[in-house]
């Protein structure tokens, strides 16, 4: 009896399987577009000539934390 019920549950496709599959694939597409967008813009954002050059940013953080007992 239990074995038949389990086989029946396993053999039946879960409801919303197609919808779930499409949703996950579309979420993957959204993440792909987001990362491609970041890849194209990263130099302009934090590159050596960017809006916030990372080298200067990290140097200013190191100066502010120098001798600090917070960490």
Q: What is the pLDDT of residue 71?
A: 47
pTM score = 0.55
The residue extents of the domains of the chain are 2-65
CA dist 23 to 5, 11, 38, 53, 61, Å?
29, 23, 23, 37, 41
* DSSP state letters, 9-45: HHHSPPTTHHHHHHHHHHHHHHHHHHHHHHHHHHHHH
pLDDT along the chain (71 residues), means of 10: 77 78 96 96 86 85 74 47
């Amino acid at each position: 009896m239990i074995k038949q019920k389990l086989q029946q549950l396993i053999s039946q496709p879960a409801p919303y399987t197609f919808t779930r599959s499409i949703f996950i694939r579309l979420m993957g597409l959204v993440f792909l577009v987001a990362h491609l967008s970041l890849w194209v813009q990263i130099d302009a954002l934090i590159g050596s000539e960017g809006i916030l050059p990372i080298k200067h940013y990290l140097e200013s953080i190191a100066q502010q934390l120098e001798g600090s007992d917070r960490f």
